Amino acid sequence: MIVFMNQIKSWQYPLRIASILVVSLLCGCFSNLAREANVLQIGNGAEVQELDPHIVSGVTEHRVLSALFEGLTDCDSTTLEPLPAAAKAWEVSPDGLFYRFILRESAQWSNGDPVTARDFVYAWKRILSPALASEYAYMLYCLENGRDFNEGRISDFSAVGVKAEDDLTLAVTLERPTPYFLAMQNHFAWYPVHRATIEKHGRMDERGTQWTRPGEMVSNGPFLLHSWLPNELLSVRKNPRYWDAASVQLSGIDYHPIDNLQTEDRAFRSGLIQLTSTIPLQRVEGYRKKNPAVLNLLPYYGSYFYRINVTRPPFDQQAVRKAFALSLDREELVTNVLKGGETAAFSYVPPGAGDYSCSYPLSFDVEEARRLLASAGYPQGKGFPTVDILYNTSESHRIVAETIQRMWRENLGVEVRLLNQDWKVYLSALNTLDYDLARSAWIGDVADPVNFLECFQSDVGNNRTGWSSEDYDRLLEEAYTSSDEVKRLALLEEAEKLLLEECPVIPIYFYTWKFLKAPELQGIAPNILGYIRWKDLFLAEEKG
């Protein structure tokens, strides 16, 4: 394994701590290892897929990228209201179709180059480039001609609604009013990238080059990439060139990719990490009773669901998909299995975003599920082929899958097998439709229902089901262009109704944001997006 480091003298600590941690995890023994002063230790779940903000799509990656990069705006971690970031100010036209951003004169890349409006133009061209095939390119379809460029109908990027008027002035023209446009700018899909660094290692639209490696990456956020030992440790350290470096209190963050929840829990209890990615299901009640001060169970704008590969029989039949959806006792799952404040999901979009709700929910109806399965040619499950539930390696995903496996056996008479894969292999299977049923989740990028529903438009990178509906696409397009908020939400509700009827996905439960936090870690604020503003965090001195 080749390890790239920022500076020779700094390589020894992360290698030593990672190696000792791995040995400790394997043997199940933990000790209070010496930690670098003022460096936050966190569990980050799985190993990151990549550190290229234009080709990733997961929360795991967002946690790291939001420390390394900064968009035009950030957001208040409590209210989620947009805050100035790389842009110090902006103006918006009365019709909401034109934005002018004024960038900070003091904003620099980590190599000392100024952050300019042209960096944003270049980055947005890159993510929209057809050859890059970014799963998140559709987030930029709100730009004038953004979709046409991404789908190859035009090739001249100057026709897309983003222009650098000068080094510090970025003009943006939208295709349609987008009320959450400012709030989107702290999402990694909109982050700038450093052109010279990208092109030093390959083409603008080339995936998997070495520009994201320590010693090569140039970023503009509050932290910079220090070291990365895949599957062991990813470390970032304070960026001295960040425009607001004086406000950043942590010296760095060590992200530990611990995908075993029991191991992560032991690491927290042993003091090896100060923040977990989640909590083992069976440990929630114990923390409630014995150590509630470290337990956090917060509302979360997230949906846990199963994707269905509709291109693969027998799931190419809507009746089969609907039968599987109606035969799940979600209340039993959240009450007797999860026990972490989750709620049963009878619709896909979670509550929490204003006045939106779906009035056409699914139900738990075994009789109707059996009727549908029989109508598809599988009475009492007879003749139904054995299919797989794919999930990324995690104890909680396994427990949920085992519960659902039992429900489908008892309620439909069908057998499903469990298939777990590590994060990168799992993502590849989703992207290539190499699965039957797959555990999935969506956490809102912005607090708006369209962010959930737009994932399942035809040919959108995050669809990953093979499902396509002209009616669904039309409803979303009408919602995009509607300036009447009541009408917009009604159109989105109609779209969700269609999604639930066609069932390319099976909603299972709505998340809570649950994690363990050490008392000395301060500055995390509750919000429904689970957004952590790393520059706000600090480690208080422990009393003792």
The single-letter DSSP state of residue 111 is T
Q: How would DSSP label each residue in 263-299?
A: HHHHHHHTTS-SB-S---GGGHHHHHHH-GGGEEEEE
pLDDT at 18 over 90: no
* Among the ranges given (325-329, 377-381, 421-425), the one the predictor scored with the smallest mean pLDDT: 421-425
pLDDT at res. 20: 40
Domain with CATH 3.10.105.10 in the chain: 302-512
Write out the two tokens for 369: 């599920």
pLDDT of 430-483, one tens digit each? Answer: 999 999 999 999 999 999 999 999 999 998 889 999 999 999 999 999 999 888
Would the pLDDT of 210 be above 80?
yes
Q: Is the CB of residue 214 less than 8 Å from the CB of residue 227?
A: yes
Position 19 scores a pLDDT of 39
Q: In terms of pTM, does the model score above 0.85?
A: no
Residue 34 confidence (pLDDT) above 80: no
> What average pLDDT does this structure show over 237-249?
98
pLDDT of residue 12: 34
**Is the model's pLDDT at 204 over the cut of 90?**
yes
What is the three-state SS of 476-537? HHHHHHCCCHHHHHHHHHHHHHHHHHHCCEEEEEEEEEEEEECCCEECCCCCCCCCCCHHHC
CA distance 194 to 209: 14
Statement: residue 256 has pLDDT above 50: yes
Mean pLDDT of 309-338: 97
Residue % of the chain over a pLDDT of 90? 86
Beta bridge partners of 98: 173
Higher pLDDT, 36 or 254: 254
pLDDT value, residue 542 = 56
**Mean pLDDT confidence for 350-355:** 85
Residue 4 has pLDDT above 90, yes or no: no
Check residue 445 and report its DSSP letter.
S
DSSP 338: I
Beta-carbon contacts of residue 90 (< 8 Å; ≥ 6 apart) = 72, 73, 99, 100, 101, 102, 182
pLDDT of residue 22: 44
First to last CA, the chain: 42
pLDDT for 30 equals: 36
Amino acid letter for position 368? E
Residue 355 banded pLDDT, cuts 50, 70, 90 = confident
pLDDT at 491: 96
Q: How far apart are CA 51 and CA 70, in angstroms?
A: 14
Task: Return the C-alpha torsion angle 42, 43, 46, 52, nearest 10.
Answer: -10
Q: Report CA Rg, the chain.
A: 23
All residues at 6 or more sequence positions from 307 whose CB lies less than 8 Å from its CB, including other chains: 430, 435, 437, 438, 440, 464, 465, 504, 505
The DSSP letter of residue 5 is B
Quote the tokens at residue 323.
Answer: 């039968």
Average pLDDT along the chain: 92
Confidence of residue 191 (pLDDT cuts 50, 70, 90): very high
Q: How many CB atoms lie within 10 A of CB 462?
A: 19
Intervals of CATH 3.40.190.10 along the chain? 8-271+517-539
- pLDDT, residue 461, reads 86
- pLDDT at 258 > cutoff 70: yes
3-state secondary structure of 451: helix
pLDDT tens for 98-118 read: 999 999 999 999 999 999 999
CATH superfamily of 302-512: Dipeptide-binding Protein; Domain 3 (3.10.105.10)
Q: What does the pLDDT average to over 199-228?
A: 97
State yes or no: pLDDT of 253 exceeds 90.
yes
pLDDT the model gives residue 74: 97
Give residue 354's pLDDT: 79
Distance CA 221, CA 238 (A): 9
Q: Which of 50-54, 390-394, 453-457, 538-542 has the lowest mean pLDDT?
A: 538-542
Residue 5: both structure tokens together = 């480091």
Question: Which among 470, 460, 462 is positioned nearest to 502, based on CA atoms?
Answer: 470
pLDDT confidence of residue 29:
37
* Mean pLDDT confidence for 369-386: 98
Q: Is the pLDDT of residue 530 over 70?
A: yes
Name which CATH class applies to 8-271+517-539. Answer: alpha beta
Are residues 505 and 527 in contact, defined by beta-carbon separation less than 8 angstroms?
Answer: no
pLDDT for residue 116: 98
Residue 350 pLDDT exceeds 60 = yes
Q: Please report, rounded to a whole number, the percentage of residues in the chain having pLDDT higher than 70.
A: 93
pLDDT digits (tens, 9 = 90+) for 38-92: 999 999 998 999 999 999 988 999 999 999 999 999 999 999 999 999 999 999 9
* Phi and psi angles of residue 305, each rounded to the nearest 5 degrees, phi first: -150, 170
pLDDT digits (tens, 9 = 90+) for 512-521: 999 999 999 9
- pLDDT of 476 reads 96
Residues 424, 413: Cα–Cα separation, whole Å? 33
